[in-house]
Amino acid sequence: MLKKIILCLLTPLLMGGCVSGKEAAMQKIQSLKDAYADYFLIGNIVSGVDMDDLRYNILTTHHNIATAENAMKPQYLQGTKGVFTFYDADAIVNKALSRGLNVHGHTLAWHQQSPAWMNYEGVSREEAVINLTTHAKTVAAHFKGRVVSWDVLNEAIADNPSNTEDWKANLRQSPWFKAVGADYVEIVFKAAREADPDAKLYYNDYNLDNPNKASVVYNMVKDINERNPDVVGRPLIDGVGMQGHYSSHTSPANVENSLQRFISLGVEVSITELDVQCGEEGKQTDAQKVAQGITYAALFNVFKKYAENIGRVTMWGLDDGSSWRRQACPTMFNDNLHPKPAFFAALDPDKFITENGASIEKKEAKQAEAVYGTPDLADAAAWSQAPAISIDSYLMAWQGASGTAKVLWDESNLYVLVNVNNAEMNKANQNTYEQDSVEIFIDENNGKTPYYEKDDAQYRVNFDNEATFNPQSAAEGFESRTTVSGRSYTVSLKIPFRTIDVKRGGIIGFDVQINGASSRGARQSVAVWNDLSGGSYQDTSGLGILKLTKR
C-alpha cells in the first residue's frame, strides 16, 4: 500500500512534472524521446535495479531503446563452457519489449567481463576460434528478432595509437588477440551476421573523440567492409558506436570531427554510452550543474546536426545514484530521480545555452616560468633556481598522489623535474596510464587546438623509469631518470624541442599530470597543474602556459 501511495505522489514527476517549487511542480516536462522523435532513438541502460515500476516509468517516458548494462556480457551468459544462462538477460529484454522499448545488445566479444576459459593463455587458436564463434552465434541466435542491433566487438583498439594507418598494429593486446590473431575481429562479426542477418552490427569503443584513435577505427572499418562488401546483402560492419564517457571539459569539436569521419564511411553512427562528469564525491555545485548542462546542450546540438546518420543516443545511467561514475554526478537525473539542468539542456539545447551560456566564465590558463639552464638529470640540486609548480588539482574523487614540478630550458631541450608524494609504486596494470606515473604535455606553438598537431606530444614515465610516448616519434632524443624513496619518487626528463627555435625564449603550452595507482593496480587519482578536462592526451586547448625566460 505504501509503495502505491509513493508512486501516486511521484506520478507527476515520472510523467514530466515536479522540477522545483510549487509552480514547477505543476509544469509538465516534455518527454526526451518525443523531443527527438524526428532525429534518432533515445536510449538508456537497464539492470536489475531498474526493473521496479518507479524507475521503469521514467525509463519508458523518456527513452525508446534499452541496453542491458551487464546481463548480456559474456561472463554472465556463459560463465561455464557450454552452459548458457539467459534468465536475467531474457527478463530485461522481455520487459523492455513489453513496454514498447527497442533493445540493443551489449556485447558479444570483449576483453573485459569475459570468462578466462574462452581465451586463456595457452589455448590453441582453433579452440579459441570455436569458443568465440560458438558464443557469438548462440547468443545472437537466442535473441534473434528481439534485438535490433549488437555491439559485436567492444574496445578492441589500444589507447593513444601512433601509426594510425595500420589498424592491426593498434589492436589491444587482449586475450582474444593473443589467442586468435588480428582476424578475430572479422571472425566474430561474420559469426554474428550468420546468426542474425537482420540485426545491425556495431563496433563500439571509447575515446573516439581522440582523432588518432578515431583514425584507427575508421581504417579498420573501411578495410573490413571493403573486403566484405556483401555479407548477407550489405557490408559486414553496419555501424560505429562512439562511447560518450565525457566530462564538462570535453571538446564538442572533437566529437563532431569524429562523427564526420565515421559518417563518411557510409555506416550508421550511434552515441552509445553518454555521461558527462562534473562533480566530486557525489555532489555538484550550482556552477557545476550549469557547466554540465552546457556540455550536454553543445553535444546534443552536434547530434542533431548529423541526425540523418545517427541511429541512437544512449545515456549510460538513469540517475547519478546508480551510475558507474556516481562520484562525478554524470547523468541527467539526481539521486532522487529529479531532472537536473542537464536534462533541460538536452531537451532544448539552444534555449539552455541562451539562458545559461553567459554564466560560464572561461577559465584563464595558469602560467609558470621555465628558467634558462642545462641541468644534469642525476643532480636534483641543478633545478634549485627554478620556481616550483604545484601539481595538486584532482580530476577524480580520490585525492592520492600529488607533487611539484620545476622546469629549465636551453636552445635544444626542455628539462622537467617532478617530485611525487603519496604514491603506491604500483605498475601491475597493463594500461600504462593506470600505473604510478608522471605525464608531461607539450604544445610547442601554444596553438590550444582541440586535437594534436605535429608540434604536440605526450610523455609518460612511471616510477620505474619506463616511458611511453604519443606520438611514438616523440621518443627521439628523449631521456629520463627516476629515483624512489618510500612512497615518494622523483622523475627528471630531457625533452627535445621538435618544431620550434627557442633561442630567444618565448612561450609554449605545457602541463604536468600525476597518475596515482591503487594497491590493486587501478588508477585511483589524477592530479594536474592546469588542465582539468582529463583530455590533455588528445586536446591541447586546456594546457597551461610556460614562459621560457633568461635571468
Could you list the active site residues? 155, 205, 273
CA 50 – CA 298 distance, rounded (Å): 28
Bond prior to 235 in cis (omega within 30° of 0) = no
Task: Copy the grid coordinates of residue 300.
Answer: 546534443
Q: Report whether 313 contacts 246 (CB < 8 A).
A: no
d(CA 389, CA 301): 38
Task: Let me know: does 219 contact 164? Beta carbons within 8 Å.
Answer: yes
Closest among 432, 496, 443 to 465, alpha carbons compared: 432
Q: Position of cell 593496480?
A: 521
Report d(CA 176, CA 136) in Å as an integer: 13
Q: Using an 8 Å Cβ cutoff, are 480 and 377 in contact? A: yes
For residue 498, count CB atoms less than 10 angstroms from its CB and return exposed for 0-12, middle for 13-18, buried for 19 or more.
middle
Give alpha helix (H) positions in 79-150.
87-98, 125-142
State the DSSP code for 373.
-
Q: How many CA atoms lie within 13 A of 244 on its CB side?
A: 30
Task: Count other Cβ atoms within 10 Å, centred on residue 230.
Answer: 8
Residues 6+ apart with CB under 8 A from 324: 316, 317
- Start-end of H helices in 42-183: 53-62, 74-77, 87-98, 125-142, 175-180
Coil, strand or helix at 119: coil
Burial 155-171 (b: 16+ CB within 10 A, else e): bbbbbbbbebeebeebb
Based on its alpha-carbon atoms, the radius of gyration of the chain, rounded to whole angstroms, reads 25
Q: Break the chain down into helix, strand, coil percent, rounded to 5.
A: 35, 25, 40
Calculate the CA 126 to chain-centre distance.
Answer: 33
